[in-house]
């Protein structure tokens, strides 16, 4: 089903794009900093170190955010040319600091302690 995006939906897409752009930049900076600051550990034991795994995780997250930006950008480009598929706002992820998430982590820690 194709329809025109409303001004509010376009503004929401632009806000998501802006936020995601900042996340990408921050993740790129963190990856570069980690590689630079931990170069000795990374070169000594490249595949066995915590630092190596952290870089892998950052690169995975970075890839996901870059993919998200391209999807948002494509939606914005299509919206300027007319009709696009209906866009749905993504469901919010639980916050790291939310009570729900904190409760889940506390229960996991309790189970491990037993």
3-state DSSP of 48-98:
CCHHHHHHHHHHHHHHHHHHHHHHHHHHHHHHHCCCEECCCCCCCCCCCCC
Mean of the per-residue pLDDT values of the chain: 75
The stretch 29-35 carries a mean pLDDT of 91
Structure-token pair, residue 39: 């170069």
Question: Per-residue pLDDT tens for 60-80?
Answer: 999 999 999 999 999 888 877
The stretch 38-52 carries a mean pLDDT of 77
CA distance 65 to 24: 6
CB 62 within 8 A of CB 28: yes
Which residue in 26, 35, 30 sits closest to 66, CA to CA?
26
The stretch 29-44 carries a mean pLDDT of 84
């Amino acid at each position: 089903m194709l329809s025109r995006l409303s001004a509010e939906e376009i503004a929401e897409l632009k806000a998501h794009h802006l936020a995601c752009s900042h996340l990408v930049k921050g993740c790129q900076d963190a990856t570069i900093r980690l590689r630079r600051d931990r170069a000795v550990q990374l070169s000594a034991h490249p595949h066995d170190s915590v630092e190596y795994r952290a870089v892998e995780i950052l690169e995975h997250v970075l890839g996901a955010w870059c993919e998200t930006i391209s999807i948002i950008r494509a939606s914005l480009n299509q919206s300027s040319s007319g009709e696009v598929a209906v866009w749905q706002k993504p469901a919010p992820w639980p916050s790291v600091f939310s009570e729900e998430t904190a409760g889940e982590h506390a229960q996991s820690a309790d189970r491990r302690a037993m």
